[in-house]
Amino acid sequence: MKAIAIGLLGLGTVGSGVVKIVENHQDKLIHQVGCPVNIKKILVQEPAKERCVKVDPGSLTSNPDDILDDPEIDVVIEVMGGVEKTRGYLLKALNNKKNVVTANKDLMALYGSELLTAASENGCDLFYEASVAGGIPILRSLVDGLASDRITKMMGIVNGTTNFILTKMSNEGLAYASVLKEAQELGYAEADPAADVEGLDAARKMAILATLGFSMKIDLDDVNVKGITAITEEDLRYGKQLGYTMKLIGIADRSGDKVEVSVQPALLPDAHPLASVNNEYNAVYVYGEAVGETMFYGPGAGSLPTATAVVSDLVGVVKNLRLGVNGSSAVTPQYEKKLKQPEEVYSKYFLRLLVKDQVGVFAEITSIFSAHSVSFEKILQLPVKEQGLAEIVLVTHHSSLKDYEDILMELRDMEAVNQIKSSYRVEGSVRQ
């Protein structure tokens, strides 16, 4: 049995996990694929550096060509991160007829179509399961398990950092800044957390999910993105009073031949399955015309969960290699991209207003909503410390985004409205 030789680009958190799984699960891998799987070369910046995982020092190199140009290496696993330089490495690997496994969501969101085209042209596999939800096999489920169904909506929590922050804020009544600091100290958030808290990380993942789930090339620029930095303890408290839990939600929704893809803080009914997904965990809710509703749940990050997804992709590549069918599984997008316009996007909305405490103000506000045929599902009127002011919290029935944005503009122009304090989408109806 000829061993399959692997080249590993990167030996950080995920790379170390890949090494551990390949070494510790070698008997299972041999049983799965029918031959040994060996990591021949590992690209690192500093070969002499002390590491948390034991590897043969002779397998370490700082020269990528030792992997990319080695004719004996069959599969390149990329877990080094980065975009432009990494893109060059993977294009070279594919052009050298090497199969590729990557966990790089940034790369796949920006250059996925280019890399998949290169893989197809060279008869190679390019698998990227770990790029979206760590250890959750969501991409494989969409491509294989739900291949016969028509996906109409995917909605989920795909960023563990923001979910940890919102869980702590909600459960302990803490301010955003203090919870972010704790998340950084625990290693859940980077020193510069912008990609997570501004929603960009989740947006990249939703672009990948939507491209696969809808068979339509969705680019990062097609995703409407709003982060969590403006969420206050009051937003969460009033949401709770009305029976909602706040989450950063990625939404990919298809109606007919048009799609909407967004990432934004949204309020979910407490009884919705996603509302109970806490801390660093991820979950994706998938709606199919035939299967109905399914949910995929698990750890969205971490060394071994993410490495498990990477090695699962490796198993798929090696099975194809032994069957001689690498490159045959790539499917180009089937449909032309058509994005929904604001008048075609429907949702409920949560709105907090600070208004003058005068007779007739609420009637004036109601008339603005009525003019756009938008009614209220829930209303709270709350006392405030500022004299002569009142706070109103509303949840609307379904409205088009266009109508809702027009309503917000008219409210801002109203003399009696002191401030629009916050506004969020309300998602996830619950079956009784």
Least Cα distance to 349 among 396, 292, 382, 284 occurs for 396
Q: From the candidates 98, 205, 340, 348, which is the catalytic residue? A: 205
Quickly count: other Cβ atoms within 10 Å of residue 153's Cβ. 18
Paired tokens of 297: 């749940």
Paired tokens of 16: 């170390």
Least Cα distance to 250 among 281, 214, 223, 211 occurs for 223
Query: Who contacts 272 (Cβ-Cβ below 8 Å, separation ≥6)?
Result: 245, 428, 430
Paired tokens of 183: 């998340």
Q: Which pairs from 110-115 meet CB under 8 Å and 24+ separation? A: 110/83, 110/204, 110/220, 111/83, 111/87, 112/208, 112/211, 113/217, 114/87, 115/87, 115/90, 115/91
Supply the DSSP string of 125-163, one letter for each residue: -EE-THHHHTT--HHHIIIIITTTS-EEEEEEE--HHHH
Do residues 207 and 337 touch, judged by C-beta distance below 8 A? Answer: no
Is residue 205 among the annotated active site residues?
A: yes
* Length of the chain (residues): 432
Paired tokens of 288: 């199919």
Query: Who contacts 374 (Cβ-Cβ below 8 Å, separation ≥6)?
Result: 396, 397, 399, 403, 404, 407
Q: Which H or E element spans position 244?
A: strand 244-255
Paired tokens of 83: 């975009």
Query: Which residues are annotated as catalytic?
Result: 205
